[in-house]
A = this chain, B = another copy of it.
Amino acid sequence: MQTNTQEEAIARLAHCLKQAGHRLTPQRLAICRALIESENHPTAAEIFERLRPAYPTMSLGTVYKTLRTLVELGAIQEIGDAGDGAEHYDVNLHPHVNLVCTLCNSVRDMDSAAIEQVADEVERNSGFRIRGARIVYYGVCPDCAGNGGSR
């Protein structure tokens, strides 16, 4: 489902790289694809594992380097760790809420009418020039709450 939208998203990342004078190698394209196709907001290690079968020579260092490049270009966002001690990455640049399940360490997106106003409010009241945000709520997702989510 929404395959062509995914292709567009991959093309957007590829375009960002080329635009900034970076080279579009097979490894980088694969990393972009993994970012877009991933359900949860992946870590570097998760992308690496996901790509390993198809790209056996892929290096974890290359994944880190590419992710950092994309972050520096503003093409993707870091959203911090999800209780697993590793950085997670988010392809969704639209202001939104990230929901972390502290039981399964998954991260999902949620649109929020209220959050869209917050950035404006913050800029107006603080004098800050806002460049980015991490809006993360921690809790227990319905799936985990369902099957024995006592903890």
Contact = CB atoms under 8 A, between A and B. Distances in A.
A127 interface: yes
A86 interface: no
> How extensive is the interface on chain A, given as a class?
35 or more
A82 B27 CA distance: 30
Given A114-B114, A118-B112, A132 B138 contact: yes
A145 interface: yes
A10 interface: no
B122 A133 contact: no
A135 to B, nearest CB: 6
Interface in A130-151: 130-142, 145, 149
Interface stretch (A13-21, A60-68, A96-104): A96-104
A139 B131 contact: yes
Interface of A: 80-81, 97, 99, 101-102, 108, 110, 112-115, 117-119, 121-123, 125-142, 145, 149
